[in-house]
């Protein structure tokens, strides 16, 4: 066995090992990126549902009106928010009225909430 032969085998082995490591790093990197994006999207979707006022405010004849965005699709008993897709199984009319009143009373908090909600929609690529 001469020295040149041994070196060639070593070099070949080194190249193969290197190639395998590069592929392994690439695969795990792609996997992590996908996982990260999935987690991030879920996170944004949850935040969107948290910040959504689940309704619209409109002003007509100097009267501020708040209309609930919850809608019950035909054939279902649950309610879906038209703005954030939040699904709730039951809506208590009194609770909903109270919630709307609270939102309207604190207009600053309401507009801040709308602002964050819009930012999140943009971040999530919905608008």
How distant, in Å, are the alpha carbons of 22, 35, 39, 60 from that of 123? 33, 18, 14, 31
The minimum distance between CB 59 and Zn ion, in angstroms, equals 20
Site for Zn ion in 54-93 (CB under 5 A): 54, 81, 83-84, 86
Number of residues that bind Zn ion (CB under 5 A): 6
Under rule CB under 5 A, residue 52 binds Zn ion: yes
Q: Which stretch binds Zn ion (CB under 5 A): 11-19, 45-53, 60-68, 102-110?
A: 45-53
Site string for Zn ion, 5-44 (x = CB under 5 A): ----------------------------------------
The three-class DSSP label of residue 74 is: coil
The minimum distance between CB 107 and Zn ion, in angstroms, equals 18
Residue 57 DSSP symbol = E
Burial class (CB in 10 A: 0-12, 13-18, 19+), 113: middle
41 and 121 in contact (C-beta within 8 Å)?
Answer: no
* Residue given tokens 């409109």 in the structure block: 58
The site for Zn ion (CB under 5 A) is made up of: 52, 54, 81, 83-84, 86
């Amino acid at each position: 066995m001469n020295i040149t032969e041994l070196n060639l085998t070593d070099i070949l082995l080194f190249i193969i090992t290197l190639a395998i490591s590069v592929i392994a790093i690439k695969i795990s990197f792609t996997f992590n990126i996908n996982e990260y994006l999935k987690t991030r999207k879920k996170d944004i979707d949850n935040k969107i549902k948290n910040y959504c006022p689940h309704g619209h405010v409109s002003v007509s004849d100097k009267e501020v009106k708040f209309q609930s965005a919850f809608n019950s699709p035909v054939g279902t008993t649950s309610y879906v928010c038209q703005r954030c897709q939040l699904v709730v199984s039951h809506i208590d009319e009194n609770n909903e009225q109270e919630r709307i009143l609270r939102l309207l009373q604190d207009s600053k908090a309401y507009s801040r909430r709308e602002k964050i909600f819009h930012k999140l929609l943009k971040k999530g690529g919905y608008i």
